[in-house]
Chain A
């Protein structure tokens, strides 16, 4: 199975700053089938990005995704207070459809 490794584990930033989150795959993710989710405490995950760089419906344009092959990045250009949460990447090119272990974005 494809193992996704996210870094850093925890990212401490302030509102207004730029956040860069990394997701590295143990083997190439076919067709850039990679998604990013945001999860807040006690809530289900929310889809942010799919196909590595396409924003989901109603996601603000401060969220952007990039990458291909084995290296992917989620960027939040200017952090808002509501952006502090845990972020997961997921590959859906090869079954089982695995997730990274998460990056905790904290104030």
Chain B
């Protein structure tokens, strides 16, 4: 079945970087954009950016510009989100989510989600 599988929890020190993988299976990897959304403990959802798995082209939310990098590996159907210069406010569950695409157009709502990766930033 279609799924996005993420890695287990990470603990990082302030100032470090984290790279979170998201492996897609059960559908054509290059057919849908993939997004990253995070959720701080007890808080709401925050969109971070998008990657086109076919071209590798990315767009990031302005808040994360300069600190986030999204890449993909088509040979393993995996996208990665790397966040650098971590601070305590970056403690959150990070989700990858698939944007919906039909045969003719793509829209940026999310019809398939990974299970989330908890990143804890400690000082």
Contacts and interface: CB of A to CB of B under 8 A. Distances in A.
A99 interface: yes
11 contacts: A33-B107, A37-B45, A37-B110, A45-B113, A50-B100, A50-B109, A88-B44, A90-B109, A90-B110, A92-B108, A96-B61
B62 interface: yes
A75 to B, nearest CB: 19
Interface residues of A, number: 22
A87 to B, nearest CB: 11
B45 A95 contact: no
Main secondary structure of the interface of A (DSSP, over half): loop
A98 B107 CA distance: 14
B44 A92 contact: no
Contacts of A50: 100, 107, 109, 111
Contacts of A96: 47, 61-63
Per CB-CB distance, the 4 closest pairs between chain A and chain B, nearest first, are A44-B113, A92-B108, A35-B109, A99-B45
Most chain B CB within a 10 A radius of its CB, from A88, A96, A97, A100: A97
B62 A100 contact: no
A45 B95 CA distance: 9
Interface string A12-34: 00000000000000000000010
B59 interface: yes
Interface string A66-107: 000000000000000000000010101001111111100000
Contacts of A46: 113
